């Protein structure tokens, strides 16, 4: 098969007729499939059903240090839950606060507190003329929605397989005091599935920001979401809190994680990890905000998983469900699109997404055509600040939720739409 970019107008026109006929056949099937978000499928949720039996009305609901989990108290989480998350993130328990069901809520709160009260005695951001955030992109749309919600100006930073463009980040934070933070998904990034290299992590830890209240928002959401059981096929991420401390920047990072895609989506537990100074600052605000999070749910999680060995054994069951889906998407895209010069995609070793780059100017129409034929995908542009992809090229593929058979159909339709829109685009040129 020749590259589409090498076909004549006549060849492209003939191909367009053929592809439109196939597309019509898909539309006639009345499909109703959804690949819009990285939701766990039912089989994944079933893995955690035993958690509902880990605590019942006959259970002793006392934490290991004697706290009655039915009552008020324990602002920063029961000790066994703190230990579990500390082991997950390779930090100390003194650096951990266990919170509610979603890390996104913690991130929102951190931004809100910074706006109203500042960071460790700094001027509240709401009183400043300008506040900016660095946004590696393609990136996580919900991160960008938080900063947009608070009127924070977002600056796009290009991504590579090693992580964000660190030359750009180092230059910007050193020169501009209005830059107060950077969003990061450092392991199996959303949507490309990249893991930051050791050099990238060390460069983050060595940053010399002009703003003393600059913070790295290190959303380590996929730190245990490997697709492969073999350790040699699993990405590794350098631990950033200790690297920051080594470089005299102990307070510069907030790290986040949760069990939202480990146990029950929306009914897990979450964590923020940071320096002792940051933890004290966060707890000072939390004492006004809450009397404590759901300790029974924390206890339920610990009694179900027991320890990190239990967590990782559980995650390998997730991997066995997710891996065939990722491999099937890659297989279909390779079969249908390889060599045509109309798109490229990632095949990560973990996380929840595959990132696809179409020809410039084509992403929105591809997603729209998929939707018209019954397959809903993440809006084109969502992976960039303000929902505006400057190239209109990036599309996030979320393989987790559909069944394998549904995923095959959805991916084949997606590949067809890529071909169809690409031919139209090339003919238009």
Domain that holds residue 97: 61-306
Query: Taking the chain, what is the end-to-end CA distance rounded to the nearest angstrom?
Result: 21
Show the CA angle centred on residue 90, arms to residues 71 and 280, nearest 5°. Answer: 50
Q: How far apart are CA 276 and CA 352, in angstroms?
A: 32
- Residue 1 has a pLDDT of 73
CATH number at residue 337: 3.90.1150.10
Q: How far apart are CA 205 and CA 313, in angstroms?
A: 31
Number of domains in the chain: 2
Domain match, 358 and 398 both: yes
CA 28 to chain centre: 35
The answer to whether 99 touches 269, Cβ cutoff 8 Å, is: yes
CATH number at residue 273: 3.40.640.10
Domain match, 13 and 85 both: no
Task: Indicate the residue among 255, 277, 306 that finishes a domain.
Answer: 306
Q: How far apart are CA 376 and CA 392, in angstroms?
A: 18
Domain match, 267 and 294 both: yes
Domain match, 203 and 100 both: yes
Domain match, 69 and 30 both: no
Domain match, 317 and 288 both: no
Tens of pLDDT along the chain (429 residues)?
789 999 999 999 999 999 999 999 999 999 999 999 899 999 999 999 999 999 999 999 999 999 999 999 999 999 999 999 999 999 999 999 999 999 999 999 999 999 999 999 999 999 999 999 999 999 999 999 999 999 999 999 999 999 999 999 999 999 999 999 999 999 999 999 999 999 999 999 999 999 999 999 999 999 999 999 999 999 999 999 999 999 999 999 999 999 999 999 999 999 999 999 999 999 999 999 999 999 999 999 999 999 999 999 999 999 999 999 999 999 999 999 999 999 999 999 999 999 999 999 999 999 999 999 999 999 999 999 999 999 999 999 999 999 999 999 999 999 999 999 999 999 996
Task: Indicate the residue among 306, 324, 349 that finishes a domain.
Answer: 306
Q: How far apart are CA 141 and CA 404, in angstroms?
A: 26
| Residue 279 belongs to a domain | yes
Task: Indicate the residue among 254, 271, 306 that finishes a domain.
Answer: 306
Q: How far apart are CA 163 and CA 396, in angstroms?
A: 17
């Amino acid at each position: 098969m020749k590259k589409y970019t090498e076909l004549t107008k006549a060849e492209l026109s003939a191909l367009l007729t053929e592809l439109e006929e196939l597309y019509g056949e898909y539309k006639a099937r009345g499909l109703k499939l959804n690949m819009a978000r990285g939701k766990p499928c039912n089989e994944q949720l079933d893995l955690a059903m035993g958690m509902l039996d880990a605590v019942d009305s006959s259970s002793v609901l006392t934490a290991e240090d004697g706290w009655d989990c039915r009552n008020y108290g324990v602002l920063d989480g029961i000790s066994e839950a703190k230990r579990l998350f500390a082991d997950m993130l390779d930090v100390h328990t003194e650096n951990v606060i266990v919170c509610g069901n979603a890390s996104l809520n913690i991130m929102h709160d951190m931004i809100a507190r910074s706006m109203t009260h500042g960071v460790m005695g700094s001027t509240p951001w709401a009183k400043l003329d300008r506040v900016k955030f660095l946004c590696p992109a393609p990136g996580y749309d919900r991160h960008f929605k938080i900063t947009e919600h608070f009127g924070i100006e977002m600056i796009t930073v290009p991504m590579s397989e090693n992580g964000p463009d660190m030359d750009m980040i180092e230059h910007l934070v050193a020169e501009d005091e209005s830059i107060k933070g950077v969003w990061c998904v450092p392991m199996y990034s959303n949507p490309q599935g990249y893991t930051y290299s050791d050099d990238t992590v060390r460069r983050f830890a060595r940053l010399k920001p002009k703003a003393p209240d600059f913070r790295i928002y290190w959303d380590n959401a996929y730190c245990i979401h490997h697709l492969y059981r073999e350790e040699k096929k699993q990405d590794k991420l350098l631990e950033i809190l200790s690297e920051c401390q080594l470089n005299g920047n102990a307070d510069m990072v907030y790290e986040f994680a949760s069990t939202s895609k480990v146990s029950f989506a929306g009914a897990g537990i979450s964590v923020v990890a940071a320096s002792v100074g940051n933890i004290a600052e966060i707890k000072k605000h939390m004492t006004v905000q809450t009397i404590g999070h759901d300790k029974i749910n924390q206890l339920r999680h610990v009694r179900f998983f027991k320890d990190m060995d239990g967590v990782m054994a559980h995650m390998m069951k997730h991997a066995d469900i997710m891996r065939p889906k990722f491999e099937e998407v890659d297989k279909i895209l390779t079969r249908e699109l390889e060599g045509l010069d109309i798109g490229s995609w990632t095949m990560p070793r973990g996380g929840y997404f595959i990132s696809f780059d179409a020809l410039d100017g084509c992403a929105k129409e591809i997603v729209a055509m998929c939707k018209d034929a019954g397959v809903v995908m993440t809006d084109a542009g969502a992976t960039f600040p303000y929902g505006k992809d400057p190239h209109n090229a990036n599309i996030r593929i979320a393989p987790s939720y559909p069944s394998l058979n549904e995923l095959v159909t959805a991916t084949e339709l997606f590949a067809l739409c890529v071909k169809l829109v690409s031919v139209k685009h090339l003919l238009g040129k």
